[in-house]
């Protein structure tokens, strides 16, 4: 969809701090992170929400989330990872292209799924680079 910001990111029309890309998925740093290391996983193919996603594509997102979560937790020295996925405006979805949030969590932190402020561009780039390298080496 030409008016979908995530479709524009997938197509390379808008920049992102890319962590991972394959023939089905793109993972990138959230530009307004809820915490340091906040990533989004999206399918290349546009789906508004979970209700139109194929089982195969849902499995691919979940499988990659399972691969990335321990790497993200270690990189950010987090105590946990929040995995969030919202469907419909009533549920809090603000971008209507299916996406999954992976949000590092720390003691005493109240996790907000949507960050309020733009992330530091250098920190976003550094995190993306470190996560890409860790995924490539399996660490």
Could you list the active site residues? Answer: 99
* Torsion-angle region of 38 (φ positive above 0: left; ψ -120 to 50: alpha; else: beta): beta
DSSP string of 27-55? EEE-SS-SSTT-EEEEESS--SSGGG--H
């Amino acid at each position: 969809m030409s008016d979908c910001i995530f479709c524009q990111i997938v197509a390379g029309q808008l920049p992102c701090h890319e962590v991972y890309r394959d023939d089905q998925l793109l993972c990138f740093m959230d530009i307004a992170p809820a915490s340091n290391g906040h990533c989004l996983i999206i399918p290349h193919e546009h789906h508004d929400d979970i209700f139109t996603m194929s089982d195969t594509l849902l499995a691919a997102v979940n499988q990659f989330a399972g691969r990335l979560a321990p790497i993200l937790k270690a990189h950010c020295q987090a105590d946990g990872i929040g995995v969030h996925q919202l469907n419909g405006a009533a549920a809090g979805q603000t971008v209507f292209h299916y996406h999954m949030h992976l949000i590092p969590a720390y003691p005493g932190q109240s996790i907000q799924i949507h960050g309020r402020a733009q992330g530091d561009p250098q920190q976003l780039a550094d995190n993306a680079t470190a996560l890409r390298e860790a995924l490539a080496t399996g660490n």
